[in-house]
Chains A and B, each alone.
Chain A
Amino acid sequence: MERMIEVTGLVKKFGDFTAVDNISFSVAKGEIFGLLGENGAGKTTTLRMLATMLQPTAGHAVLKGYDTQKEPEKVRAQIGILFGGETGLYDRLTVTENIAYFGELNGMSKADIRERIQQLARAFGMEDFINKRASKLSKGMKQKAAFARSIVHDPDIMLFDEPTSGLDVTAARDVHEFILRCKSEGKTIVFSSHSMSEVEKLCDRIGIIHKGKLVECGTVDELKEKYGNDNLEELFVRLVGAE
């Protein structure tokens, strides 16, 4: 199977503090890979390195054949990213303008953007508020707009950084559906979370990250079998506690 993401010996140090410590993993095309870890484990730092926002101290990350350090612009053209918490929309711009801005920045033509926005508006049921300013939208509407914005350029790789953090059950469910929708479109997904249930529900494979180290990697079933425990939470505590 084609490997879309290849991470090898990735290290990130902030002064004396090692946030990510020599982690390696790969993600195949169309796969959802979950990075499971506690707060401060190094999940966001890893995703920021994949998104070229941070430079690794050592190691490499190659996305769709492009090295994050050698060809960062080409890497960014391949990825869509969704952060947890606030949707990060520009309040004074309309939904259309928010989406179009990211489309333009990602190299799309105006005609393609127009067509894509119509398509996304239908897909996410945004027709009624597509021309409203983001500040006038409900949380749910904003979330849909943020989803649409993250995939306006139809990226092959999606990065989700704790996308359900701070969301209520319905909103979190919408995020899950969006992730599954991306998978169904053949996108490769890296998804960070500290929630066992959503990782178990969504991910094909998971990597458990603790204090910057990838302590285990495999499918949920493989891990359960390896450690002889059907409960992912207990398994996680055992692995993290053992560190």
Chain B
Amino acid sequence: MKLNIKHVMIVLRKEIKDLIRDRRTIISSIVLPMILIPVVNIVMGGGIQKFEKQINENVTVALSQSSNTAEARELVRDRILSKNPNLVLVDTDDPVKALENDDVRCIIELESSYAENLKEGKPIRITLQYDESKTRSQAAADIVARAVEKFSTEVIEERITSLGLDPSILRPVYVERVNIAPNEKGNNMMLEMMLPFMIAMLVAIGGIPAATDLVAGEKERNTFEPLLTTMPDRGSLLLGKYFAVTLFSFVSLIAILAGLFIGYMLNPNSLTMGVDAGLEGITLDPLAVALALLITIALGMTFSGIQIALSTIAKSYKEAQTYMSFLILATMMPGYATMFMQAADMSPVMFALPVMNTVAAFKMILGGRIDYFNLVLALVTSVVFVALTLAFAASLFKKEKVMFRN
């Protein structure tokens, strides 16, 4: 194929103009992400935080009818529930009904001989009643169980001390954990999980509306054959369309990142839905960021090649959309496979595969542990994928059977 840059630019300019005027593409690729992303993140983030608060705060607890005596109340309130200020003892005549009505989240029942057992140094059985079908009740049982454990430890220490011994003899070994993560690095797990996945997915699939429109759409609207009768070589026509698709895959990404930024400005917690430190403590390595951006650009170009190829194979717009939905599924698999991994867990093979390599590169940057060998490996293999997919699309543009299938 003979390439003519002037022809490539003419096609690219026209395709950009055409796509910008396509309301469907603009709304779905630019406007919606910029509005929906901050709204969804803020609402979801707010929801998660509110839910966490509801679970952990004002945990209402009642004593069973058989255990509800003044002494038992005193013991439970002063020695067990006092371990967690969020635990609140509620007085009720019918604790089971109160549990059903969500007035209390957990019922504590002490065995009848608890006072004697405590005095005589025997174990006391405490039964917790809760509703497994209710998250808040389930969480309350865990919170109360932890408070009971603390009480139990306290009693052991009292008994050991009364025997004139040091309670530490019961702990011959103990564990001390030291975090060697980069200084001031907060817990960015949510951000490391979500952001690289989003970037890779959006770049990989962002060009789909444009690719579908620019070849299959043209075939369906009968504009493709007149175009093929103009002077430029097919290689120039292909490249003009290819760059337009690549550009649009990044436009969607930029729109979504802008959406995230707007959300962050409105509510910093929205970025990670309020569940971790977010951007706190992240320091960016400029060279690693530059490499990651190049890998991302290569990913966009690789998928533009695939999308143009699929759009060329398709006989109609609908057929192209079907192929593209398979492509989305195929793209999601490596994305999800690596979503919960940390960069250090990813093997060099993963850095050599599309989608995974972009996810890995950004996880590395956010995690603050840069491995330049793997980043360069990802970049080199990405360039190979760009060349392969573009060559594949170009070979299809030359195939009469594919070009004139209909």
Binding site for B on A (CB under 8 A): 14, 48, 51-55, 72-73, 76-77, 79, 81, 83, 85-93, 97, 101-102, 104-107, 133, 149-150, 159
What separation, in Å, do the CA atoms of A92 and B404 have in the docked complex?
A: 24
B230 interface hit (Cβ, 8 Å) = yes
- Contacts A101-B10, A104-B10; is A88 near B229 (CB within 8 Å)? no
Do A105 and B17 have beta carbons less than 8 Å apart?
no
A-B contact count (CB 8 A): 74
Having A81-B225, A105-B232, one finds 15 other A-B pairs with CB under 8 Å, namely A14-B401, A51-B228, A51-B229, A73-B233, A83-B226, A86-B221, A88-B223, A90-B18, A90-B223, A102-B226, A102-B230, A106-B230, A106-B231, A150-B226, A159-B229
Cβ–Cβ < 8 Å partners of A83 in chain B: 222, 225-226
| Interface pair B231/A88, CB less than 8 Å apart | no
How far apart are the CA atoms of A162 and B225 in the complex, in Å?
14
Give bound CA distance, A9 to B209, whole Å.
44
Question: A85's contact among B222, B400, B404, by CB below 8 Å, is which?
Answer: B222
CA distance in complex: A81, B225 (Å):
9
Contact partners of A93 in chain B: CB under 8 A: 14, 17-18, 21
Q: Which residues of A contact B229 (CB under 8 A)?
A: 51-53, 76, 79, 81, 159
Q: When chains A and B are docked, how far (Å) is the Cα of A110 from the Cα of B79?
A: 89
Residues of A within 8 A of B14 (CB): 90, 93, 97, 101
- By the criterion CB–CB under 8 Å, are B223 and A105 in contact? no
Q: Would you call B7 an interface residue if the criterion is a C-beta within 8 Å of the partner chain's C-beta atoms?
A: yes
Q: Tell me how far the C-beta of B26 lies from the nearest C-beta in chain A, rounded to whole angstroms.
A: 11
Closest beta carbon of chain B to A160's beta carbon, Å: 12
Q: A53-B404, A90-B18, A92-B22 are in contact. Are A105 and B222 (CB under 8 A)?
A: no
Q: Inside 8 A of A88's CB, which chain B residues have their CB?
A: 221-223, 225-226
Chain A residues in 8 Å Cβ range of B7 = 105
Q: Give the complex CA separation of A133 and B404 in angstroms.
A: 28
> What string of 1s and 0s marks CB contacts (under 8 Å) between B1-40 and chain A?
0100001001100100110011000000000000000000
**Segment 273-326 of B: residues with Cβ below 8 Å from A:** none
Q: In the bound complex, do residue B18 and residue A76 qualify as a contact, i.e. CB atoms below 8 Å apart?
A: no
Q: What are the residues of chain B within 8 A of A81 when measuring CB–CB?
A: 225-226, 229
CB of A53 within 8 A of CB of B225, answer yes
Of A72, A87, A88, A133, most buried by chain B (CB within 10 Å of CB) is A88
Known: A90-B18, A97-B17, A101-B10. A73 touches B2 (CB 8 A): yes
A125 CB → nearest B CB, Å = 22
- For B212-226 the 0/1 string (1 means CB < 8 A from A) is 000000000111011
